[in-house]
Amino acid sequence: MNTTRDPASSSEAHGTATDAAFGAAARAATDASDTAAGSSVATAIATSTATTEAPPVAQHRSASLGAAAALLALIVLSVAWEWWLAPLRPGGTALVLKAVPLLLALPGVLRQRIYTLQWASMLILLYFAEGIVRGMSDRGLSARLGWLETLLALVFFVCALAYVAPFKRAARAARRTG
C-alpha cells in the first residue's frame, strides 16, 4: 500500500475543502441576515426587480422592412451606377467598391439587429452626402442617380431610426428606474 501523498492533490483537496467551508459559512451568514431582516428584504428585491424590467417594446416591422428594402436598393444602385448606368469612365470604375460597406451591414439589417441598424444609420449619411454632391455637380443621368441615392439614403435613415427609437426609449426608461 502506497502511503505517500501527491502534494498537488493534497493542495487541491485542501482548496476544495476550504472553498466548501467558505461557501457554507457564506450561505449561513446570508441565511442569518435574511432571517434577521425578515421577508421585507425579499419583498423589496422582488419589487425592485419587477420595476426595473423594461416593458415590452413594440417592434415596427414595417420600419425594419423599409430599411432593408432601401439598403438593398442602394446596393443595387451603387453597383449599377458605377458599372453600367453612368460610370465616371467607360467600362466601370473602382467606385463600385462603395457598395462593400453596405453589403457588410446587410445581414444585420435583415436580422433586425439594433447595433447594426445604429451604425448603419451613421454610415448611410456618407451616401446621403455623396448623393447630394453628385446630384448638384453632375449632369444628366448621373445627377438623377445622385438624387435617387439621396432619397434611398434618407429612406433608410428614417426607417432605421423609427425601428431603433422604441428600443432606445425602453433602455433609457429601464436605466432611470434601475
Q: For residue range 110-146, list pLDDT tens digits in order.
A: 999 999 999 999 999 999 999 999 999 999 999 999 9
In terms of pTM, does the model score above 0.85?
Answer: no
**How big is the chain by its Cα radius of gyration, in Å?**
30
CA dist 113 and 64 (Å) reads 10
18 pLDDT band, cuts 50/70/90, is: very low
7 CB neighbour count, 10 Å cutoff: 8
Burial 132-156 (b: 16+ CB within 10 A, else e): eebbeebeeebeebbebbbbbbbbb
The distance between the two most distant Cα atoms of the chain, rounded to a whole number of Å, is 97
- C-alpha–C-alpha distance, residues 130 and 173, integer Å: 37
Between these two residues, 46 and 65, which has the higher pLDDT value? 65
Cell representation of residue 102:
453596405
Q: What is the pLDDT of residue 100?
A: 98
The total of other beta-carbon atoms located within 10 Å of residue 65's CB is 14
pLDDT for position 34 = 39
For residues 83 and 59, the model is more confident at 83
| Cell, residue 126 | 456618407
**What pLDDT is stored for residue 91 in this prediction?**
80
- The Cα angle at residue 154 between residues 149 and 159, in degrees rounded to 5: 130
Identify which of 163, 150, 151, 153 has the alpha carbon closest to the alpha carbon of residue 65: 163
- Contact criterion met (CB below 8 Å) for 93 and 142: no
